[in-house]
Structure 1
């Protein structure tokens, strides 16, 4: 019998659904639909500006629609917002529309290309921002943020990652750069380990982790040493390789020269690919070459993995006794499962996950006003702490350090400790093509269809061709 999906869904007071339409509001709407090759000055000119202050809100019933992929935080957000935001805006209903993860990018950008969206707030991956900005798909929130958001309340890396474009260096906050979004959900990987199989102390280095996983697999027939993302879809296999690349001292590219070939596939990059394919892959379960979030969670919950890696925001279901064979209570499960920050090796880098909120340039004026009001409300310190207590991963420093967050789950301290270690991928308009190239080739190497060196060289060559053909110059930013 197939194990049910680990939804990890949170119990927040119930959803209320009412449809509605809106009144009017003036927002600058000059939109330039520009291509990937646009320079940074054109990007700023092409994005319509949000007003610096929130215009008068409609008193009529209104549905504020989001678009996200289908996973536990999406359902938690809808429940949380309808329970809490309605206390201040009872006429507003929050609807979070979801699509499969693999269709997430295209579901948003197909509508953007048509200059008509059925969503008001797009939840973009950090690397989607450049494409949306250069095509004029989302509002420039710079003036709005200055007047409504305390930017000093955030780690500059998170504020930059979820809103700033361009980024001369990944995660570096430039106060003169424009902001196009605000944080919704922070995230990174946690290492999940079986305390009853490997001991209470988690491995401290990547090499030690591989050794421990190997011994655990040998000592426990039917249990794989490792479980991690390998699928050729979304950013699954790419994030896995990029994580190992960073830990072994590699770089994804040189953002100043926009050079990938010769950087990604240098000695450190090759070592990382060798570790992933020849040392980690043999410790995974048969048939795991297409695994992503749900499959890794299922392996952990069924007691089939010694050590696993997954996104923190997707890990809540692991503690649900209805979805686990590790115990009949949360406490029994936690006697067997531990959560830790990723081991280090040559560096201690971890992957940046999470997403920001961005206002569609094609949303009706009244909905844009409601979206801005929602964002200002959501970023309040009291609401961020409530979001944390409900299972969200906040970005405000005071919320990250609050008891509401740190006590809400055993993996929350992992996130708080990981923020200074984060590294993002390329934050450029060409991101979607770059990640597809990497996913395809890393997945091929993991499944034996390509030799590790050939796969990495192909990634570097093909990604370099994408950047070279875009016409953008060096210094455009991650």
Structure 2
């Protein structure tokens, strides 16, 4: 579709110029060729238009499509929203293969927080800094959530650099919740990680056929790496020194080694046989089938656990909740939890009218009342007022867990080399969990190989920090 010539021609031309900067490798001040979106939303087309997202295949993707087509169309009746999904393991490549071709069949890519650096450096998404200043109340968000889902270069965890550019806005917040069998380990969840391991051991011993723990171990996406990083955090470790771009000697220091020992030698023995490739769906299945005492999973993926058609724990939601409890992660030396969730961005290669529609959708989506409706529909909002709203807190027993976890979150490295770093860590943590590598060797290999990636990028002038 095209803009109506007399009304939208200038706005369309502005976006076309911005997009052409990317194709020509233009520069917006040092972060490669990310083209700038206009501060004001261009005139929107009145012709039928399909606004396409790309995400991985999980319940929030289906919820987003249903929600947008029910609510956004009240404002834009000519627009249909389509959320295209791919397997989680293919998510990154499905987007960046098209980015590399400088032609996308999606208008709004949903990027993991760590994908932003790669997309910005390659000029794949629009710089929406001016748009945000004009249209979004940035004070409505926890500063770190706004930074995590859109800012590049990234600030230190828990901080936002108001002078840094924004390339996206929050779509879905997330973190891990601890899921525990109240009928097997008691109503009160373990308070520390060590207590959790002890409770899982006792539960496994007393309940043959039920494993003490269920958690992500797969060598795909960020599964095994997030598990290790979570344990690393609660035992006082660090993934890297971001200012010095140093990984070797940091992730594999004494705290890092203790965390790997806990994961491989204390937690892994409490998991089910054959669980070495488990991720989101497998953990949920173990919980729903009553085969795990304690499990860890992303909050946004936990809704199905309350569905009687998917569970053997009860014939109603209420019966299931008599057996299942949801709690924030136990503390140990620190109280850190993993930051999950994703932001939405605008493809630099979409047509001008679709880029305009994407900006309008983002402005609409981030409104307070829409965020509360999104929460009621099963989404995890990022706005502070929506997080504390009855619509969110009453929508699921795990939602308060997220609200209570926001101040505890820690993210990974937000650099263009993220995809290579995560692959190194996934491969080695998975190998340690499955007995293919000694835990200490695996962690030292992670440190050495990741450091080589950062050093190589630094020599090329890359890195983004």
TM-score after normalising by structure 1: 0.93
Q: 2:120 aligns to what?
A: 133
Asked if residue 306 in structure 1 is aligned to residue 293 in structure 2, the reply is yes
The structure with the greater share of residues assigned to helix is: 2
**Partner of 1:399 in structure 2?**
386
Which of 29, 38, 46 is residue 59 of structure 1 equivalent to? 46
Question: Structure 1 residues 84 and 52, CA, compared in 2 at 3 Å: closer, same or farther?
Answer: same
Q: Work out whether residues 234 and 333 of structure 2, in 8 Å CA contact, stay in contact via their aligned partners in 1.
A: yes
**Following TM superposition, where does structure 1 have runs of at least 4 consecutive aligned residues deviating by more than 4 angstroms?**
32-35, 38-41, 472-476
Structure 1 position 183 matched with structure 2 position 170: yes
Alignment match of 1:245 (pick from 232, 235, 242): 232
- Quote the offset at 1:475 in angstroms: 9.0
Describe how 1:71-470 pairs up with structure 2 within 5 A: 71-470=58-457
Question: Who is 1:29 aligned against?
Answer: 19
* Deviates most, 389-398 or 465-474: 465-474
Give the Cα–Cα distance (whole angstroms) in 2 for the partners of residues 247 and 476 of structure 1: 27
**1:329 Cα offset (Å):** 0.2
Q: CA deviation at 1:86?
A: 0.3
Instruction: Give distance in 1, aligned partners of 2:109 and 2:51.
Output: 11
Change (3 A) 1:139 1:264: same
Q: CA RMSD in A?
A: 1.6
Mapped partners of 2:114, 2:28: distance in 1? 16
Contact 1:67-1:96 at 8 Å conserved across structures = yes
The equivalent position to 1:50 in structure 2, one of 19, 25, 37, is 37
Q: For 2:190 and 2:256, how far apart are their aligned partners in 1?
A: 23
Alignment partners' CA distance in 1, 2:111 and 2:347: 11
Distance of aligned partners of 1:471 and 1:148 in 2 relative to their CA distance in 1, 3 Å threshold: same
Contact kept, 8 Å, 1:129 with 1:429, in 2: the verdict is yes
Q: What is the rounded CA distance, in whole Å, between the counterparts of 2:443 and 2:248 in structure 1?
A: 10
CA distance in 2, matches of 1:163, 1:179: 5
Deviation at residue 42 of structure 1 after TM alignment: 2.3
**C-alpha separation in 2, matches of 1:22 and 1:301:** 49
Q: Deviation of residue 64 (structure 1)?
A: 0.2
Deviation track 1:46-66 (CA, whole Å, cap 9, x = no partner) reads 110000000100000000000
Q: What secondary structure sits across from 2:345 in the alignment?
A: strand
Q: 1:416 to 1:446 in 2, by over 3 A?
A: same
The structural deviation recorded for 1:30 is 4.0
Residue correspondences, number: 454
Distance 1:468 1:33, change over 3 A: farther
Are the equivalent residues in 1 in contact too, given 2:174–2:339 (CA < 8 A)?
Answer: yes
Listed as ranges, the gaps of 5+ residues in structure 1 are 1-20
Q: What is the CA-CA distance between 1:39 and the residue it aligns to?
A: 11
How far does residue 170 in structure 1 lie from its aligned partner after superposition?
A: 3.2
Q: Distance in 2 between matches of 1:443 and 1:324?
A: 28
Give the structure-2-normalised TM-score.
0.96
SS at match of 1:98: strand
Counterpart-to-counterpart distance in 1, 2:251 and 2:174: 24
Q: Is the 8 A contact 1:33 1:135 kept in 2?
A: no
Contact 2:416 2:464 in 1 (8 A): no
**Preserved CA contact (<8 Å) 2:28 2:35:** no
